Amino acid sequence: MVFADLFFLYFFMPVCLLMYFISKNTAYRNVVLIFFSLVFYAWGQPIGVLFLLFTTVLDYFNGRIIGKYKDRLPAKFAVAASLIINLGLLAFFKYSGFVVENINALFNLTLESPAKTLPIGISFYTFRTISYIIDCYWGKVKPQKNFGKHLMYMSLFPAITAGPIVRYETVEDQIDSRKIKLEDISAGLSKIILGIAKKVIVANNLSTVVTSLFGDFDSGYSLIGKQSMAGTWLGIISVALWYYFDFSGYSDIAIGLGRLFGFKFNENFNYPFICKNIAEFWQRWHISLGTFFRDYLLYLPIFGKRRQYASLFLVWFCTGLWHGASWNFIFWGLYYGIFIFIEQKIGKKKMKKIPLLITHIYSKIVIVIGFGIFYFETLGSLGNYFKSLVGFNGLIDSKTKLLLMNNLWLFVVAILFTMPIVKKLKEVMYKKQGTLILANSMGIVINVALLLVSSLLLVDSTNNAFLYFRF
């Protein structure tokens, strides 16, 4: 089941909310969330529920062992068991095919991949459970003694199949005690509608532009080898905008749903394209993933204190590999690692002295080119991409001009809404006396309009799976 679906919006979510709010206390409400979360997950992949439940049971007991024995040997074994088993399952399902594929290429073999189907959301709930176990061991959180509450944390449907990576420390207190105010319901619904609009109105249309310019994975990106330089740049800018609105749209819906149930998840995207350098971009883009690697990998003395940059590149290698079992993702991770390394060498003080115009231009070029590396998953198409990027197939073509003119409104809207324009307008209106009622009324009208337009587009739309499901 996906969020951008009429069945979810007008049946599953309302029924879940109804059952939730007629339940009298938090214990009953937790049971409602567990039931609907497991149904939500099983809807897309029934067999995947077994892996989710296995991970949940495994780390429930590992957490209890850590809590009982603290820094002693059984606790260390529990942490090791959690890491080995969870990362082992993730590696088996997500990367075994990649390993076999490269072995076959190197040694001219025809071995078959042992893993056939990737459990939905395994990349996300694996990191969620790892963060829980490590935080238990470090004493940042108390191990959950109630299995039902632990199951609810692990299966909570707003964030079970994709981002954000919700850490246990974020919701630890909210699991036992949640108070839902009218402002939570209002903010949650607004966030959900915004996320749906980002996906259905903007991201889906941008994806059509990208496919028109480059082709898609199934066709081997057949058009990139024929694309002009202008078409290639228009295409990768479209990819960057598409991925932003798709990813942030899903995160907005997840955060909004959490708010309706009394959970306050952290923001996952904070207007990343207004960044002035690459380090700032990654402080704003997919924040839950970036902070996960920062907190659990970057500061561990794997290579010793004198080799801090080795740890830096390990983080970016893992960041790339986490996104997919393909060389382009590894290149993409290391590509960003190089620019972070360069910026660290230059230093924050010197970076601030560079004129803003230059830093903005530099950062956007690096980011946009990076999205091309991320998008083209085969080495052949990646090579064609770099050739087209510098004009090997001509500078401009009539198809690119036509696509730009026909979708000019889309690009203008997309670029404008990567900036905090609406946020600033809200702040101004809420500060002025006498504009509160007007601001609230305008907000309701805009939400209704966005929901209506999105719903109409969903009637005949078939392109509603979020990009997050690929990872």
* Catalytic sites, residue numbers: 323
Strands (DSSP E) along 80-182, which ranges? none
| Rounded-to-integer distance, Cα 265 and Cα 251, Å | 10
Give the closest residue to 66 by CA, choosing from 160, 125, 123, 130.
130
CB-count burial class (<10 Å; 0-12, 13-18, 19+) for 156: buried
Please count the other Cβ atoms lying within 10 Å of the Cβ belonging to residue 420: 13
Do 159 and 124 contact (CB within 8 A), yes or no?
yes
Give every CB contact of residue 198 below 8 A, 6+ residues apart in sequence: 245, 246, 248, 249, 252
Give the closest residue to 96 by CA, choosing from 84, 83, 111, 114.
114
Whether the bond into 143 is cis, omega within 30 of 0: no
| Rounded-to-integer distance, Cα 138 and Cα 68, Å | 13
Do 278 and 340 contact (CB within 8 A), yes or no?
yes
Do 304 and 243 contact (CB within 8 A), yes or no?
no
| Rounded-to-integer distance, Cα 439 and Cα 425, Å | 9
Output the DSSP codes for 358-395: HHHHHHHHHHHHHHHHHH--SHHHHHHHHHHHTTTT-S
| Rounded-to-integer distance, Cα 99 and Cα 91, Å | 10
Give the closest residue to 231 by CA, choosing from 403, 363, 4.
403
| Rounded-to-integer distance, Cα 420 and Cα 141, Å | 34
| Rounded-to-integer distance, Cα 444 and Cα 454, Å | 15
Amino acid (one-letter) located at 153: Y
Give every CB contact of residue 440 below 8 A, 6+ residues apart in sequence: none
Calculate the alpha carbon distances from 318 to 292, 305, 411 in Å: 11, 20, 32
Do 160 and 121 contact (CB within 8 A), yes or no?
yes
| Rounded-to-integer distance, Cα 387 and Cα 391, Å | 7
